[in-house]
Chain A
């Protein structure tokens, strides 16, 4: 029995399930019923993290609680620092990373906004670390439910940004995040949608501790505060040198895809689970492709599956990577589609388009592709999005319509 499930894990009515499944000689895993938050906490425990500095915020709270429980029972070997704010959480992570330690934090919404200043420092100081973001709407009005306004506000901080669509993916992506960040010297944010992932329990096929320990290893050596020869970190750069730092950071992000791919492939080797920059569903001959981020992609795939069985040529593309943006993969996947439905769960007020739409249009323009594109703002502040909603939008897109369109879709109510 895994200890996390024996106590407060049951509070939300979860049930622990267990069973060791062997996949051939090398692969084995333990099936557990876990929420996204629980899954992330287990991933952190197994990844031999040295320092967790975190501050509670709904809906990330359970991650912090669980890690504290692990620490209280001697199951988490690192240090747990219950800081007094998210700003200090990210600051302590920066301090920890400067010693060469492996560090982790988790946050959401207002917390990520409060960290904002230090996100840039972590990234441009080229510090490896992993962070889980339990995507939640931003105040005002106050709302604890899911959308992507939080991470979109920090989009340009220079972090690698990955999205998960299930508790198991959140677990897998967090483990990968440590290894990715340590191979490219950039911090990695793993997004999991508020409540739909953080608080919904699904079967997670957990890998054995020793397999994860071997996979992540110890962080590779890099310059630190503990080096024999004293070094200074976080210097001031005047206009004659500042740009070189930014250029270097920018290039590292541009050059990161092969390293990320390598980690995904290695992870497949230990888990049998395949990760790629994008997830494709029924795209081969699709006339209409819905492009999404996060957990509602699964809902859209259900709708697409049913519509396919009725003969409609619709497909769903969701992004596992958001930064670096998987341009090539998306272009290849949508090349033959007539219509794209770009689904944004965050707004960019007054901009030419909303965040995901901006990325997609830029990418298409560069590739010289012209398509009908419908941009939909949906699911803000936890706004519901059911299979019927996905179907409504896909059916709409199958009909003739203007080349460019934007509208709010409220879900259910329309």
Chain B
């Protein structure tokens, strides 16, 4: 069941009440923090946040301080979807017994490691059981908290400390896992990608996701300047170019229907995205030309597939 929701069209619609305090310990130019601030600002009600172990968690919660102006809990790395399941289910019982008046929205923040890899089972379980929660994966495409190790969200060809490029390896040798398809396969009502540059798109998706009575999922592209090797001033620009080169398409899967929410009719060359990041710059060297072509083909194929899915599911 879906409630009414309003798309975000202007900055003046956004409440001024901050839910993430300034002064936390994240790096300058941290993409995930921008994403989380945007998401919390636009949540219609004060949510309960469950946070997986990771950069965001350690940067916001060093005892005796906290940056969270909303109720917040962290338990471990791989179990945030399960913790959120418990919070949600317990609220149902408390409400039935008259202990509370209403249930509050539950939002999970977990990185790509905590979602694509070690937390995938807990996520799948929670999705299948249908707990009402918005699960947000802030994707910075590697294990950044431990110092830039590859995850299954790391794209092909990217350098990390465990997928270095060398005489034989081009960087990461495997493609990025398609988490949206995995989530959508659970039959959840709403799942979408988003990016911090396209904030109206992101905020609209948050409102839409929270309007559903069931599990919803947001995959937010959140550049990490430390891990991707770019200047902290470029975080938002990197996020923008990821979309404008079709490297990270913005789309949603709503009730089984695919829709590209930010069309990119004339994509910029992929090099515009790669060249401003140290993790990809080797791909522009002649000896890695083959790897660059492979990556370009993956990007093209993915876009074509997405367009086909959008067309195929728009009828009916």
A77 lies within 8 A of B63 (CB): no
**B66 at interface (Cβ–Cβ under 8 A)?**
yes
The segment from A83-91, A324-332, A372-380 that touches chain B is A83-91
B128 lies within 8 A of A101 (CB): no
Give the residue among A232, A233, A236 with the most B Cβ atoms within 10 A: A232
The segment from A222-230, A275-283, A352-360 that touches chain B is A222-230
B92 lies within 8 A of A79 (CB): yes
Residue in A95, A121, A125, A234 whose CB lies within 8 Å of B87: A95
User: Given that A50-B93, A51-B90, A241-B64 are known contacts, is A233 also in contact with B82, CB under 8 Å in the complex?
Assistant: no
Which chain A positions have C-beta within 8 A of B46?
230
Give the residue name and chain of the B residue nearest to A225 (CB): B71
Give the residue name and chain of the A residue nearest to B48 (CB): A225
Kindly provide the distance from the CB of B85 to the nearest chain A CB, expressed in whole angstroms.
Answer: 5
A101 lies within 8 A of B93 (CB): yes
Residue in B57, B63, B85 whose CB lies within 8 Å of A83: B85
Residue in A78, A91, A99, A235 whose CB lies within 8 Å of B122: A91
Kindly provide the distance from the CB of A45 to the nearest chain B CB, expressed in whole angstroms.
Answer: 13
Which chain B positions have C-beta within 8 A of A238?
62-63
Complex alpha-carbon distance, A15 and B69, angstroms: 56
Taking CB atoms and an 8 Å cut-off, the chain A residues in 385-405 that contact chain B are none
A50 lies within 8 A of B90 (CB): yes
**A82 at interface (Cβ–Cβ under 8 A)?**
yes
Complex alpha-carbon distance, A53 and B93, angstroms: 13
**B42 at interface (Cβ–Cβ under 8 A)?**
no
Which chain B positions have C-beta within 8 A of A241?
63-64
Kindly provide the distance from the CB of A245 to the nearest chain B CB, expressed in whole angstroms.
Answer: 8
Give the residue among B82, B87, B94 with the most A Cβ atoms within 10 A: B82
**A156 at interface (Cβ–Cβ under 8 A)?**
no
A99 lies within 8 A of B94 (CB): yes
A84 lies within 8 A of B121 (CB): yes
Which chain B positions have C-beta within 8 A of A78?
93
**A347 at interface (Cβ–Cβ under 8 A)?**
no
B90 lies within 8 A of A95 (CB): yes
**B75 at interface (Cβ–Cβ under 8 A)?**
yes
Complex alpha-carbon distance, A121 and B71, angstroms: 18
Which chain A positions have C-beta within 8 A of B83?
91-92, 94-95, 98
Taking CB atoms and an 8 Å cut-off, the chain B residues in 75-110 that contact chain A are 75-76, 78-79, 81-94, 96-97, 99-100, 104
**A302 at interface (Cβ–Cβ under 8 A)?**
no
Kindly provide the distance from the CB of A86 to the nearest chain B CB, expressed in whole angstroms.
Answer: 10
Kindly provide the distance from the CB of A154 to the nearest chain B CB, expressed in whole angstroms.
Answer: 16
Complex alpha-carbon distance, A412 and B44, angstroms: 68
A101 lies within 8 A of B90 (CB): yes
**B73 at interface (Cβ–Cβ under 8 A)?**
yes
User: Given that A79-B89, A100-B99 are known contacts, is A84 also in contact with B128, CB under 8 Å in the complex?
Assistant: yes
User: Given that A95-B85, A237-B63, A241-B63 are known contacts, is A79 also in contact with B93, CB under 8 Å in the complex?
Assistant: yes
A233 lies within 8 A of B79 (CB): no
User: Given that A77-B93, A87-B79, A226-B91 are known contacts, is A95 also in contact with B86, CB under 8 Å in the complex?
Assistant: yes
Taking CB atoms and an 8 Å cut-off, the chain A residues in 71-119 that contact chain B are 77-79, 81-85, 87-89, 91-101, 103, 117-118
Taking CB atoms and an 8 Å cut-off, the chain B residues in 51-77 that contact chain A are 57-58, 61-64, 66, 68-76
A96 lies within 8 A of B87 (CB): yes
Which chain B positions have C-beta within 8 A of A26?
none
**A231 at interface (Cβ–Cβ under 8 A)?**
yes
User: Given that A95-B75, A99-B90 are known contacts, is A235 also in contact with B100, CB under 8 Å in the complex?
Assistant: no
Residue in A95, A101, A230 whose CB lies within 8 Å of B70: A230
Taking CB atoms and an 8 Å cut-off, the chain B residues in 195-238 that contact chain A are none
Which chain A positions have C-beta within 8 A of B63?
235-238, 241
User: Number of B interface residues, CB 8 Å?
Assistant: 46
Which chain A positions have C-beta within 8 A of B89?
51, 53, 79, 81, 92, 96
Complex alpha-carbon distance, A230 and B47, angstroms: 10
Which chain B positions have C-beta within 8 A of A103?
86, 90
**B147 at interface (Cβ–Cβ under 8 A)?**
no
Kindly provide the distance from the CB of B53 to the nearest chain A CB, expressed in whole angstroms.
Answer: 9
Complex alpha-carbon distance, A6 and B63, angstroms: 53
Which chain A positions have C-beta within 8 A of B93?
50-51, 77-79, 101
A101 lies within 8 A of B62 (CB): no
Give the residue name and chain of the A residue nearest to B73 (CB): A233
Complex alpha-carbon distance, A231 and B122, angstroms: 25
Which chain A positions have C-beta within 8 A of B79?
87-88, 91, 118
Which chain B positions have C-beta within 8 A of A84?
121-122, 124-125, 128
Kindly provide the distance from the CB of B24 to the nearest chain A CB, expressed in whole angstroms.
Answer: 12
Complex alpha-carbon distance, A97 and B94, angstroms: 11
Give the residue name and chain of the B residue nearest to A94 (CB): B75
Which chain B positions have C-beta within 8 A of A87?
78-79, 82, 122
Which chain B positions have C-beta within 8 A of A94?
75, 83, 86
B97 lies within 8 A of A77 (CB): yes
B72 lies within 8 A of A85 (CB): no
B92 lies within 8 A of A82 (CB): no
Give the residue among A85, A118, A236, A237 with the most B Cβ atoms within 10 A: A236
Residue in A50, A51, A95, A121 whose CB lies within 8 Å of B50: A95
Residue in A81, A99, A236 whose CB lies within 8 Å of B58: A236
B73 lies within 8 A of A234 (CB): yes
Proximity bits, A114-133, B CB within 8 Å = 1, else 0: 00011001000100000000
A232 lies within 8 A of B73 (CB): yes
A100 lies within 8 A of B94 (CB): yes
- 22 CB contacts below 8 A, A to B, read A50-B94, A51-B86, A77-B97, A81-B86, A84-B124, A85-B122, A87-B122, A88-B85, A91-B76, A91-B122, A94-B83, A95-B75, A95-B88, A98-B83, A98-B87, A99-B90, A225-B71, A226-B48, A226-B104, A232-B66, A234-B61, A235-B64
Q: Which 4 A-B pairs have the closest CB atoms?
A: A95-B86, A84-B125, A92-B86, A88-B82
Q: What residues make up the interface of B, taking CB atoms closer than 8 Å to A?
A: 46, 48, 50, 57-58, 61-64, 66, 68-76, 78-79, 81-94, 96-97, 99-100, 104, 121-122, 124-125, 128-129
Other 9 A-B pairs with CB < 8 A, given A79-B89, A87-B82, A230-B69: A53-B89, A81-B86, A83-B125, A91-B122, A92-B82, A100-B94, A118-B76, A225-B71, A236-B74
